[in-house]
Amino acid sequence: MDILILGALRDRESGYDMNKELVGKRSQNTDADRRRQPTRVEAEAAVRTLIEWAGDDPDREGLLGTPERVVRAYEEFFAGYHEDPVALLTTTFQETADYDEMIVMRDIRLESHCEHHIVPILGKVHIGYLPSDRVVGISKLARVVEVFAKRLQIQETLTAQIADTIQKVLQPQGVGVVIEAAHQCMTTRGVRKPGVSMVTSRMLGSFRDDPTTRREFLSIIGNPRSGIASA
């Protein structure tokens, strides 16, 4: 903490805004320190507690292996916390001077989990961008979706994260991301609205500013019907 105060004083003298960065790094470290990763045994015990809370007996035969299986499933569902989508795109983009048409990948399968109930969000993602000079293999765009989807999410944040990452790394003239998804927390519990899907979008650059570009993109992906909520 002393170091931070000294840093702040020095910043004021030199006019160099270093303190903000230091504080940012410091608080990140503190958060990480506070969040000790529980052991596998602790995680399995927590699942056992939830089974009891639901009203069943975790020692009956059918449930004996369930805590272990659930913890393994969580490793798959939330593998995205251990991957860096920016690095994924940065190491694989290619420079190209002669391609300036819209690139669209539609109907990318989406499997995520809502951060409010930890139940599935299932749907599809459409991505379009207008390259300036960097392009990336289409499988890498699907991987970026996967890395963000395999975290606890809300659809609006997920939509924005995918678009912002593509914008940041590929620096295209524009990017558009549209997600259509059904939330099982809405369809199987609470308000119980089966068949309802939510559409979110994030339009950047020419996809935001140029109605022709946006229309072309929306027409290629088949004009999602519901009112689009901007992320």
Planar angle of CA 126, 133, 220, nearest 5 degrees: 25
| The only residue of 12, 109, 116, 193 in contact with Zn ion, by rule CB under 5 A | 116
Site of tokens 């991957």: 83
| The only residue of 79, 185, 199, 228 in contact with Zn ion, by rule CB under 5 A | 185
Q: List the one residue out of 38, 222, 47 whose CA is nearest residue 126.
A: 222
Residue 208 makes contact with Zn ion by CB under 5 A:
no
Q: Number of residues in contact with Zn ion, rule: CB under 5 A?
A: 4
| The only residue of 71, 88, 102, 114 in contact with Zn ion, by rule CB under 5 A | 114
How many CA atoms does the CB half-sphere of 200 hold within 13 Å? 20
Give helix 40-54 / helix 66-77 axis angle, nearest 10°: 110
> Minimal distance in Å, beta carbon 52 to Zn ion?
23
Q: Which is nearer to Zn ion, 32 or 118 (CB)?
A: 118
Binding window for Zn ion (CB under 5 A); candidates: 17-25, 136-144, 181-189, 215-223: 181-189
Residue 193 makes contact with Zn ion by CB under 5 A:
no
- Both tokens of 32, joined, read 């990480």
> Minimal distance in Å, beta carbon 117 to Zn ion?
4
Binding window for Zn ion (CB under 5 A); candidates: 96-104, 112-120, 170-178, 215-223: 112-120
Q: What residues act catalytically?
A: 114-117, 155, 183, 185
Phi–psi pair at 189, nearest 5 degrees: -150, 180
| Cα(162)–Cα(112) distance, integer angstroms | 13
What are the residues binding Zn ion (CB under 5 A)?
Answer: 114, 116-117, 185
